[in-house]
Amino acid sequence: MDVLISALEGLNLWWWLGIAAVLLIAELLTGTTYILWPAAAAFVTALISSFVGWPLELAIFAGLGVLFLIFGDRFVKPRLKAGADSGLNMRATYLLGERVTVVSGFTEGRGRVRHGDTEWSAKTEDGSDLAAGSSAVVAALDGTRLIVKA
């Protein structure tokens, strides 16, 4: 028991920053945001560790960890998830409503179109065939295939 108490009495700014760093690395590996909040609590505890003793440091760490987890999960996490619908890394979503040029004639409603310097697999909305060189408008997406209309 004396070993544990002497270890706890040795807690200082650098120990708390080390704990925060380890927790942040664990957060980076998991990506869940649940480990982020105890890491933030450890960082804040590091800032005040020079002014209080170890029992109060542990209480502050535990209290802030719970508070940060509750408020972070309630207010921050929904905003992070809202950014997932931004269209980032989904280049095809920006093509909706854009004009494309038919590269090769459509057969059975399927063919290839060009937008800028990229060719896309495409099919027509109504299954009609388009002639090479004609233009069409992107109406929807089906995975990586564009659905176009004349």
DSSP string, 9-59: HT--HHHHHHHHHHHHHHHHHH--STTHHHHHHHHHHHHHTTTS-HHHHHH
Give the pLDDT score at 85: 58
Alpha-carbon dihedral of residues 53, 56, 58, 61, nearest 10 degrees? Answer: -120
The CATH number that applies at residue 127 is 2.40.50.140
- Contact between residue 45 and residue 37 where contact means Cβ atoms under 8 Å apart: no
Domain interval for residue 127: 91-149
- The answer on 60 and 105 residing in a single domain is no
pLDDT the model gives residue 8: 75
Q: Average pLDDT of the chain?
A: 86
pLDDT at position 86 is 59
Total number of domains constituting the chain: 2
Question: Has residue 39 got a pLDDT over 70?
Answer: yes
- Same domain? 70 vs 111: no
Length of the chain: 150
Once rounded to an integer, what is the mean pLDDT over residues 38-49? 94
DSSP string for 47-74: HHTTTS-HHHHHHHHHHHHHHHHHHIII
Specify the pLDDT at position 104: 83
Rounded to whole angstroms, how far apart are CA atoms 16 and 53?
13
Q: What is the per-residue pLDDT for 62?
A: 95
pLDDT in tens, 71-123: 988 888 777 776 555 556 666 677 888 899 999 888 888 999 998 888 888 99
Q: Which helix (H) or strand (E) holds 104?
A: strand 99-107
80 lies in the same domain as 51: yes
Whether 47 and 106 map to the same domain: the answer is: no
Q: What is the pLDDT of residue 89?
A: 61
- Measured CA to CA, the distance from residue 100 to residue 115 in angstroms comes to 5
Please give the Cα distance from 111 to 134 (Å, whole number): 12
